[in-house]
Structure 1
Amino acid sequence: MTKTQAQIPTQPKIYTFNQFIEWLPENPSARYELHNGNIIEMSQPTGEHEEIKGFLARKVSVEFDRLNLPYFIPNQAIVKPPEKESGYFPDVLLLNRPNLSHEKRWKTEATVSQGASIPLVIEVVSTNWRDDYHFKFADFEQMGIPECWIADYAALGGKKFIADPKQPTISVCQLVGDEYQVTNFVDHDLIISPIFPNLKLTAQQVFDSVL
């Protein structure tokens, strides 16, 4: 079976990250991630999900370009927690170019594992919201990624994450010591980003970016 024909095995199997990289199809018809050794086929995102992702990527790009920071947003880079057999494709991944020389997998696999390489990661919440609020949150925190946003435009997350009654929320997770401190922004709250302190963006502007 060629890589372009690869499919998720019908029998359960735990994969290492190296096996996952080897298994990944070159021209996939679906998107896959590795979660604790399990290959997960990601559902096709909605149009609103992609609009939110594109809007946030554009706003972040404008800001780091304005500040002349050595950052860029890749299209298909993988985030691998160093101590786990996992690999994620974040919705928006901001990379610090100077630190990539310290990433052993970057040149051959476009994979990063160091928090110093990732100033910011953004996940736009889908129906699999537990992945964003539980697994990825914990892994990004453990990796030492300075800032993580969880954009829950459809208020899909649990009430303990976005309050009761639930409403669309942008959660900004700032690494303080070795733990994330989470601040939620709703309605016309101005989003406070530690790495972009002069960012002029409200939660409502993000939510209004969809058709």
Structure 2
Amino acid sequence: MVQSAPKLLTVDEFISYYGDSDRYELIDGELIEMEPTGPHEQVSAFIGRKLNVEIDRQDATYFIPHRCLIKLLGTDTAFRPHLIVLDQTRLINERLWQKEPVITLGNSIKLIAEVVSTNWQNHYARKVEDYATLGVFEYWIVEDTALDGFPGLKQVSVDYLGIGGREYIGKPKQPTVTICTLVEDEYQKQLFQNNDQLVSSTFPNLQLTAKQVFAAGQSVPM
């Protein structure tokens, strides 16, 4: 029996049907399952905890929402970052924010961090292009090869399982944090591995190594 192609969704339909779910995002009208895992959540939570310390230290007007969508205007695309840092002083210009946690303006966003999943091409290619076009100043991609092959574990854009292409994180593939910083309208990328200390323009006093990020996704021995 021939199956019909799945119905494409508009971004408004997606927000209405799936806006409260953490499992899906929308790319060009196609529903994308994010396949979250426990290690994904561990890594995202660890990064969020470290960045919250820096937000307090700087006494900045930033915060990390529990749930947030990024709606790309003019397309049926709505990304759901693993972690996003917003500038609350900019939210007055966000026409949807008072009714639902949806961001449409790049200058509302200080930083996005994505933990690499099986759809790693979206993190390294599609989202790099779209976040740069939107004007997102800083974008982290986390991927860790060290957990690849462990039963029940998947990767984080921190490439937390090293599943990204070699052209993105080098050969041989290693656990890598790629930090993209917007210069004019393009991202300049820096790769951090092992004991490299992460360099963030948004949080210049951040004391955090790539190794610490990757370790957050590992189970603590009993």
TM-score (norm 2): 0.85
Question: Which ranges of structure 2 fall in alignment gaps of 5 or more residues?
Answer: 144-159
- Alignment equivalent of 1:89, drawn from 74, 80, 89: 80
Percent identity over the alignment? 42
Aligned equivalent of 2:195: 188
Alpha-carbon offset, residue 136 of structure 1: 1.5
- Alignment equivalent of 1:123, drawn from 114, 117, 141: 114
CA–CA distance in 1 between the matches of 2:10 and 2:59?
38
- Alignment equivalent of 1:142, drawn from 111, 128, 133: 133
| RMSD, aligned CA | 1.5
Aligned equivalent of 1:42: 34
Alpha-carbon offset, residue 95 of structure 1: 0.6
Aligned equivalent of 1:4: none
Alpha-carbon offset, residue 142 of structure 1: 0.7
| C-alpha distance 186-25 of structure 1, shift in aligned 2 (>3 A) | closer
Matched positions, count:
199
Aligned equivalent of 1:3: none
Question: Which ranges of structure 1 fall in alignment gaps of 5 or more residues?
Answer: 1-9
SS at match of 1:90: coil
TM-score (norm 1): 0.89
Alpha-carbon offset, residue 41 of structure 1: 2.4
The question of whether the paired residues in 2 share the 8 Å contact of 1:119 and 1:195 is answered with: yes
Alpha-carbon offset, residue 12 of structure 1: 2.1
Q: Tell whether 2:180 aligns with 1:173.
A: yes
| C-alpha distance 193-36 of structure 1, shift in aligned 2 (>3 A) | same
Q: Tell whether 2:205 aligns with 1:198.
A: yes
The question of whether the paired residues in 1 share the 8 Å contact of 2:34 and 2:117 is answered with: no
Which digits, 9 at most, give the CA deviation of each residue in 1:162-190, with x for residues without a partner? 00000000000000000000000001111
Correspondences of 1:103-114 after superposition (within 5 Å): 103-114=94-105
SS at match of 1:18: helix
